[in-house]
Structure 1
Amino acid sequence: MTDHDLYEDDEDDFCCGRAYGGSRVAVVSTARYHPALDGEAVDREHMWPGSHCVEYVRRVLGEASGAGGQRTGRDARVEDTPLGAAVQAARAAPAPETDLGGLWFSRVARTVSHELGHCHCLAHCSYYACVMQSTAGMAEDVRQPPYLCAVCLSKISKAMVPVSRDTEEQMVLDRYKALLRFCEGWLGVAMFAGYHAWLEKRILALQPGGPEIIEISD
């Protein structure tokens, strides 16, 4: 960990983390995550999970297409999904300005998770919303989720446990429960509140007889 900017080379503007997966070594900078540097580039209202709320997605798609953000398809029912629960929990959390230290920590924690993923030989994810996605700047960085998508989670699970579906599912469940306990100490921070709600729904779905959840976030 360092509180100074990182640079790949003389042509690089900056990077917030760098990992050397084969050597299991990573470095993360906290500098650019300082809330005092947000300015107009960071939309705090739509940091994850707010980056997945329907109003924001429609607005961004409308701006990109020139269509004004009008509805172009049917709405999916989201009230009982992990992502829907995350959005609602984050909205109910205190405003980011009430705990800037917690906001700063949540950003650093997500990048540490990303770089640790590289140390386990995960590449950047191009499949779904995932903590292993690459980002091109701070505005995009804060919109990324703290969790692994199904593809990357399957990769890391198979790398860490014997080849057994039952063992793999138990590892995922144990991992989610440990993350849930950690988030319980940070429910005043929107990202952790949202992640806590997301984890609760995922744990419920993984229990015997749990509800089937179909949720694709890309």
Structure 2
Amino acid sequence: MGDFVLPDKGAREAAVGSLAGMEPSFRRCFQAGEDFELKREPDLGDWLFHHEEPGQTVREYLDSQPNKVGANGRSKLHILPLGEFPKETSPDLQELKKYMELYYAPMVVEILPIIPAEEVPAVTRENLSSGKLQWNSSHLLGALRGQVPRDSYGLIAVTMTDLYPEEGWNFVFGQASYKNRVGIFSFARYHPAFTGEEGEGDAARLVQQRASKVLTHEMGHMFGIKHCIYYQCNMNGVNSLPECDATPMHLCPVCLRKLQRAVGFDPLSRYQELEKFYRQHQLLPEADWVKGRVDWIAQ
């Protein structure tokens, strides 16, 4: 394909929608200022080079009537661990939980009891390229529907076992059924050790950051938020780990307004709590970006 056209300023502002009548500091939360990088031209191999994405304005989001938080008692987000999580190569699930609680505040996030690998109802194979065990994600997705708690707005199962959706595919990072409010995602390939590399710098921090991005991105889809085409944004579609690494952890003004309408948080307070988390975890570029954003909103 490769025929994606970058939205212009008018299209970006139209995607956010009218901000008339808002209190000034609240309104500025959904104005870009100079803080947001515009969506980059896709290169060969990037998501938008191979996938046609029409975008989703705030009005289109509201008109789609996404699942309402709290309807039918569904007010929590759940993480379901499957199999073993070796400390050397796995993200810290408790820290992922804390991050999701800040990202989707004030929603409650719970980690469900781990399902041991031998009890996971998986169709398996050995990957011909890596020689590693894989689980069939399509089969697992159907089996996991019965694991969604009654009070769950969305459940994401996570594993350190590699996944594949069907024969003919080498692997897949994850798969989800947003209608059924369930997804499964593998962190297996997030650590450089998967391909025999030592990795540069702090590999543990890299794994944690990648996992944080993917969990918040995929849970964003559970709220009915589609892939973003307006800015560099956590809701951008990605085709590879390098493309994932190039996307920010934050939401653009368009996607932030959608999530705010869904959850009802105070955007400024949310930014302030995220900055604390980023500094605590030595994610300093993210912390500095959020601080700049808070300063701009508050001026």
TM-score by length of 2: 0.43
- Describe the superposition over 1:8-30 as per-residue Cα deviations: whole angstroms up to 9, x where unpaired: 33233322233332333232211
Q: What corresponds to 1:10 in structure 2?
A: 167
The one-letter amino acid paired with 1:182 is F
Distance 1:182 1:2 in 2: 24
Unaligned runs of 5+ in 1: 41-95, 162-167, 211-218
* 1:180 has 2:283 as partner: no
Of the three residues 107, 114, 118, the one matched with 2:221 is: 118
Distance 1:132 1:174 in 2: 21
Q: What corresponds to 1:151 in structure 2?
A: 254
Distance 2:182 2:270 in 1: 22
Q: What corresponds to 1:30 in structure 2?
A: 187
Counterparts of residues 93-104 of structure 1 (less than 5 Å):
97-104=200-207
The alpha carbon displacement at 1:179 in A equals 1.0
Of the three residues 106, 112, 137, the one matched with 2:209 is: 106
Counterparts of residues 39-188 of structure 1 (less than 5 Å):
97-161=200-264, 171-187=266-282
Given that 1:24 and 1:120 are in contact with CA atoms closer than 8 Å, whether structure 2 keeps it comes out as: no
The one-letter amino acid paired with 1:113 is T
The alpha carbon displacement at 1:39 in A equals 8.0
**Cα RMSD (Å) of the superposition?**
2.2
TM-score by length of 1: 0.58
Q: What secondary structure does 1:145 align onto?
A: coil
- Describe the superposition over 1:42-83 as per-residue Cα deviations: whole angstroms up to 9, x where unpaired: xxxxxxxxxxxxxxxxxxxxxxxxxxxxxxxxxxxxxxxxxx
The alpha carbon displacement at 1:124 in A equals 1.4
Distance 2:289 2:231 in 1: 16
Distance 1:177 1:22 in 2: 33
Q: What corresponds to 1:52 in structure 2?
A: none
Distance 2:248 2:202 in 1: 20
- Identical aligned pairs, as a percentage? 34
* 1:205 has 2:273 as partner: no
Distance 2:250 2:170 in 1: 27
The alpha carbon displacement at 1:201 in A equals 0.6
Q: What secondary structure does 1:114 align onto?
A: helix
Distance 2:225 2:249 in 1: 15
The one-letter amino acid paired with 1:181 is K
- Aligned in 2, Cα 1:196/1:11: closer, same or farther, shift over 3 Å? same
- Aligned in 2, Cα 1:122/1:38: closer, same or farther, shift over 3 Å? farther
Larger radius of gyration: 2
Distance 1:128 1:174 in 2: 22
Unaligned runs of 5+ in 2: 1-157
